[in-house]
């Protein structure tokens, strides 16, 4: 059950980011909108925290995930460090889509990890 809950958190937060950015036309537009940027960063932080606490068996099944990228973004967001624009944009453009794709692929390949029995 823990695996499913963690995967669901990642999926829901990733979808929330996509919805927040749906009307955005560019990187500059996002960073010119403090309210939207704050919401996006909050969603990214939840994703990074979830990945930082991912159950070991699930972590081991995602060896191609950019763990270093997520750890770096987590550190910047959690400690409110600047500059972080490049890391946030990389998170939005690369980390989130890749993570969602890898988790979705794992769910298809190993559905037993995401059932009610775990």
Mean pLDDT of the chain: 93
Q: What's the pLDDT score for residue 116?
A: 53
Q: What's the pLDDT score for residue 118?
A: 38
Of 90, 93, 99, 92, the residue nearest 65 (C-alpha): 99
**pLDDT of 6-59, one tens digit each?**
999 999 999 999 999 999 989 999 999 999 999 999 999 999 999 999 988 889
Of 41, 19, 49, the residue nearest 90 (C-alpha): 41
Global confidence as pTM: 0.93
Q: Provide the pLDDT confidence category of residue 2 given band limits of 50, 70 and 90.
A: confident
């Amino acid at each position: 059950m823990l695996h499913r809950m963690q995967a669901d958190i990642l999926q829901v937060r990733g979808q929330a980011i996509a919805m927040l950015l749906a009307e955005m036309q560019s990187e500059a537009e996002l960073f010119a909108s403090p309210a939207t940027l704050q919401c996006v960063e909050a969603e990214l932080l939840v994703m990074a925290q979830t990945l930082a606490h991912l159950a070991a068996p699930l972590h081991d099944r995602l060896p191609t995930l950019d763990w270093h990228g997520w750890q770096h973004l987590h550190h910047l967001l959690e400690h409110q460090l600047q500059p972080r624009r490049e890391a946030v944009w990389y998170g939005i453009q690369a980390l989130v889509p890749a993570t969602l794709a890898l988790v979705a692929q794992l769910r298809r390949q190993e559905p037993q990890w995401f059932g009610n029995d775990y």
